[in-house]
Amino acid sequence: MKEKIIYVFMLLIVIVSCTEEESFDEYGVRILKKNGVVFAMDSRLSLNLDGTNDYMGVRKENVLTFPEGEYDGWRYYVIGNIGAEPNYKIIDDPSIHYTEGIIYADGEVSQKVVPRIFLSIPGEWKFKLVVQNEKKDTIRVSKVENVEVWFPDPLEIEAALSDDMYEAWNETLEDASEMGRREKSFWIYAVAKNGEVSVQRDEIKDGLWIMNCDETAHTDFTAPEIISPLDPLDEAWYPIGFFHTHTPLTYCPPEAHRGVGFSGGDIQAVGAHGIAFYLYDYSADFEGEIYGGHDLHQAAKLYYENCEERRPTPKSWADLDTY
């Protein structure tokens, strides 16, 4: 008997939660009635962002347009999603909910609380402006607006971290001795924190000590920590590049030699990721190689791979977690 009551109750929940009616008004606008709430599109509602392409960290203000007078006192929401249309139900779900507020007189929002849209999560975004009446039984939405939010440019990486790359190179030289040598490396991130976006690195990591002059030094390409929030105001860390150094042969016999620049293993690691790779290494002495006993402080330079293009813009939420 008890099971039967539960079963009937569950069936009732299913029926109640699935009421959905569709109709069209005299202009052909689709009106959806779902659980007693009326949804319809209003093409006069606009986010004025369609076709916007910009780097992560950009703030947009005064981009909302409401028809004069019609929605005074209603609540507005800006909702967004990566790669797919944002859904109305997002209003109850803070995850992809950008901003909200009240529409004041004549379709204006309060001058004190200017709606700001902080584009901090990279991706091919689809946005909608949604308005909801006080009784919460009527909802109007704008058409979808497309916004591309880009990862920082490699030029920005160099501006932010070229000193750190040089420092890691100097540490590599300082570490080298008759006892051994080791590479240095760090991951490069686009970081969104406290309303600001910057290019940062994690700590400089030491590679394994190499004692033997016949061996090549190695760097660990272990995946970095990705912090990809669902709230545009939460802290985010996205890998956008990788840096490492190669080691001197200064303390090796003259017959020891190695090629300079990215190794075969480096190129393989680079190929697996669509992000900028940087290497600090010596310039070649002869035919692309350096030889044992060279001057520790002889000419060296920064080598690049994939540095013409920024990390590809995510087409889905999953793309934020892969690089």
63 to each of 50, 132, 151, 244, 270, how far by Cα in Å? 10, 18, 22, 43, 40
The yes or no reply on residue 281 touching Zn ion (CB under 5 A) is no
Q: How far is the CB of 219 from Zn ion (least distance, A)?
A: 6
Structural contact between residues 117 and 63, judged by C-beta atoms closer than 8 angstroms: yes
Q: How far is the CB of 287 from Zn ion (least distance, A)?
A: 19
Q: How far is the CB of 211 from Zn ion (least distance, A)?
A: 18
Q: How far is the CB of 223 from Zn ion (least distance, A)?
A: 17
How many helices (DSSP H) and strands (DSSP E) are in the chain? 3, 19
Q: How far is the CB of 279 from Zn ion (least distance, A)?
A: 6
The yes or no reply on residue 266 touching Zn ion (CB under 5 A) is yes
Structure tokens at 287: 């035919």
196 to each of 55, 154, 192, 199, how far by Cα in Å? 12, 18, 6, 10
Q: Ramachandran region of residue 209, left (φ > 0), alpha (ψ -120 to 50) or beta?
A: beta
CB-based contacts of 118, cutoff 8 Å, min separation 6 = 57, 58, 59, 98, 195, 232, 233
Give the per-residue contact string, 197-216, with Zn ion (x = CB under 5 A; - = no): --------------------
Nearer to Zn ion, 269 or 296 (CB): 269
Nearer to Zn ion, 52 or 172 (CB): 172
Nearer to Zn ion, 124 or 266 (CB): 266
The piece of 20-28, 32-40, 258-266, 303-311 that touches Zn ion (CB under 5 A) is 258-266
Binding positions for Zn ion, 100-139, rule CB under 5 A: none
Task: Write out the residues near Zn ion by the rule CB under 5 A.
Answer: 263, 266
